[in-house]
Amino acid sequence: MLRGARSHLPASVAPAAVLAAALLSSFARCSLPGRGDPVASVLSPYFGTKTRYEDANPWLLVDPVAPRRDPELLAGTCTPVQLVALIRHGTRYPTTKQIRKLKQLQGLLQTRESRDGGSQVAAALAEWPLWYGDWMDGQLVEKGRQDMRQLALRLAALFPDLFSRENYDRLRLITSSKHRCVDSSAAFLQGLWQHYHPGLPPPDVSDMECGPPRINDKLMRFFDHCEKFLTDVERNETALYHVEAFKTGPEMQKVLKKVAATLQVPMNSLNAGNIHAVFPLHSVLSSLEVLNV
């Protein structure tokens, strides 16, 4: 996939996907996928919290709102009385910081390409329209709202007694002040409204019986308010020693060397920061199903 004339690079494969696969093969022994392989599925285990629901549970591709119950979950003698769920926000755009790193990497490749050619992948990345804007800054996308609405429907179907109409006003959603989290909470409530009122458009969340999500940064973003964390970690120059050591250590040097060879750019023009920026880009593309591979 990485060899031959430029015309041989499949148009359906986003250059970022190929570069991300090259990165993974550097340290995870993940071989590059062949033509027609689902790149997103190969890479998704490495996206952590940015992994699509559909990759964590492929059954959702068949029916996104039907729950799959573990046969050993909730035996006949067990009656659920309370559900506490810690839910991450839905699919979002990259942050402004990530977008700027991507633009820096693309700028490097464009300069290299105009001067002395470069590799097939580098040329594709240099020419690839990077349509992200700073205004996006991690905002929730429509796919993210859909994630939350469908999650609400699955939970309501899995725990019908807890999510009954009678209990609706007992539901409490707590969120951080991050816009993507507030918007995710609103979408979750809209999904529940669809469960209770199929076919009817949901009202504003402030008019729902359970009330709007409550913002509590002291709980949901405790690390910003924990004095011990701020003192011992955030403001402690030695606390992240091992993180910084990894960024400059032999493992990262191996990754940088392989990527530099793939892109045919000087190794000293790359660093851990702009290499890491490839992952949120590809995870977003995978989540938005932009990749047609």
The rounded distance, in Å, linking the Cα atoms of 53 and 287 is: 9
CB atoms within 10 A of CB 23: 23
- Find the catalytic residue in 8, 89, 242, 276: 89
89 catalytically annotated = yes
CA 225 to mean position of chain CA atoms: 25
Phi/psi of residue 32, each to 5°?
-65, 135
The rounded distance, in Å, linking the Cα atoms of 12 and 38 is: 11
Contact 280, 46 (CB under 8 A): no
The rounded distance, in Å, linking the Cα atoms of 134 and 138 is: 9
Write the DSSP assignment of 30-54 as a string of letters. Answer: -PPPPTT--HHHHHGGGSGGGS-HH
- Measured torsion, CA atoms of residues 65, 67, 68, 69, in degrees rounded to the nearest 10: 180
The rounded distance, in Å, linking the Cα atoms of 107 and 113 is: 10
Catalytic residue IDs: 89
